[in-house]
Structure 1
Amino acid sequence: MQKYPMTVEGEKALREELQQLKTVERPRVIQDIADAREHGDLKENAEYHAAREQQGFIEGRIQDIEGKLSNAQVIDIKSIPHSGKVLFGTTVTIINVETDEEVEYRIVGDDEADIKNNRISVSSPIARALIGKEEGDTVVVNIPSGTVEYEIDEVKHV
């Protein structure tokens, strides 16, 4: 069975979502289905069909989260001694060698990735190129339009 890396924060967020789904959303949709049944003919009852569809979505998401949590390998970067190497969970500042553009990314699990918040998946091309490298190293990242060269400016364990 394959384990999936996840940060402590990512695990916490999934557990909170699971709790919300089981204690708030699931009971609400069950009540919505009961209310819709009281309106009579279920074949033409849009409220009933919408509630059943919502129930299917909620149950599917609960199963998905439970599966992810059971296969999660939670990594607490704060417990790993700072070595200057890029590891899962570290925050890395890189500089585009051509344009001098600086960007900071945190390397996280697939489900936690959010490019708008500078959180990239450990399986992304940039993260794969950075993992194992150290401050001062230069990495080449393959992108659809060719390659980009970055210099690793700083690695933080936060």
Structure 2
Amino acid sequence: MNLIPMTVQGAERLREELQRLKTEDRPRIIQAIAEAREHGDLKENAEYHAAREQQGFCEGRIQEIEAKLGAAQVIDITKIPNQGKVIFGATVTLYNTSTDKEVVYRIVGDDEADIKQQLISVNSPLARALIGKMVDDSARVVTPTGEVEYEVVQVEYL
């Protein structure tokens, strides 16, 4: 079984979602199914079919989260000595040499990635180019608009 790298925060968010699904959403859906059954004929009962569909999505998501947490390799970056090297979980400040702008990204697991929050997947082209680099190293990334060069300005293990 392949382990899925995940930050401590990402694992915690999945646990919170799993808890919510099991303690809030599942009972609400079961109640909705029971109420819809009371309306009679199930063949033409739209509320019943909608509630059953919700139940399927909810149970599927519960299984998906449990599988991910079961295969998770939770990495606590704060327990690793910072040697200035870009690794999974690191927060990296980059200087884009073509735009003269600095950007900050955190390298996280696939399920945690959210570019709007500056969280990039460890499997993204940028993260793959950065892994193993040190402060002051350059990384070239091929993008749809061409090649972009970044310089590693700072590496933090937060």
TM-score (norm 1): 0.99
* Moved beyond 3 Å, runs of 4+: none
Find the counterpart in structure 1 of residue 56 from structure 2.
56
> What is the CA RMSD across the aligned residues, in angstroms?
0.6
The reply to whether residue 45 of structure 1 matches residue 48 of structure 2 is no
User: Letter of the aligned partner of 2:61 in structure 1?
Assistant: R
Find the counterpart in structure 2 of residue 109 from structure 1.
109
Q: Gaps (5+ residues) in structure 1?
A: none
Name the CA distance, whole Å, in 2 between partners of 1:109 and 1:103.
19
Find the counterpart in structure 1 of residue 19 from structure 2.
19
TM-score (norm 2): 0.99
Look up the SS of the partner of 1:83 in the other structure.
coil
The reply to whether residue 36 of structure 1 matches residue 36 of structure 2 is yes
Name the CA distance, whole Å, in 1 between partners of 2:77 and 2:112.
15
Residues 47-106 of structure 1 show CA distances to partners (whole Å, capped at 9, x for unaligned) of 101100000000000000000001000000000001000010010010111111111000
Q: Gaps (5+ residues) in structure 2?
A: none
Counting only pairs closer than 5 Å after superposition, residues 2-151 of structure 1 correspond to structure 2 as 2-151=2-151
Name the CA distance, whole Å, in 2 between partners of 1:111 and 1:6.
8
Return the offset for 1:43: 1.0
Name the CA distance, whole Å, in 2 between partners of 1:91 and 1:102.
13
Name the CA distance, whole Å, in 1 between partners of 2:11 and 2:117.
18
Look up the SS of the partner of 1:142 in the other structure.
strand
User: Letter of the aligned partner of 2:36 in structure 1?
Assistant: A
Return the offset for 1:5: 0.2
Percent of paired sites with the same residue: 68
Name the CA distance, whole Å, in 1 between partners of 2:32 and 2:99.
55
Return the offset for 1:146: 2.1
User: Letter of the aligned partner of 2:78 in structure 1?
Assistant: K
Look up the SS of the partner of 1:99 in the other structure.
coil
Name the CA distance, whole Å, in 2 between partners of 1:85 and 1:155.
7
Look up the SS of the partner of 1:88 in the other structure.
coil
Look up the SS of the partner of 1:47 in the other structure.
helix
User: In the comparison of the two structures, how many residue pairs are matched?
Assistant: 158
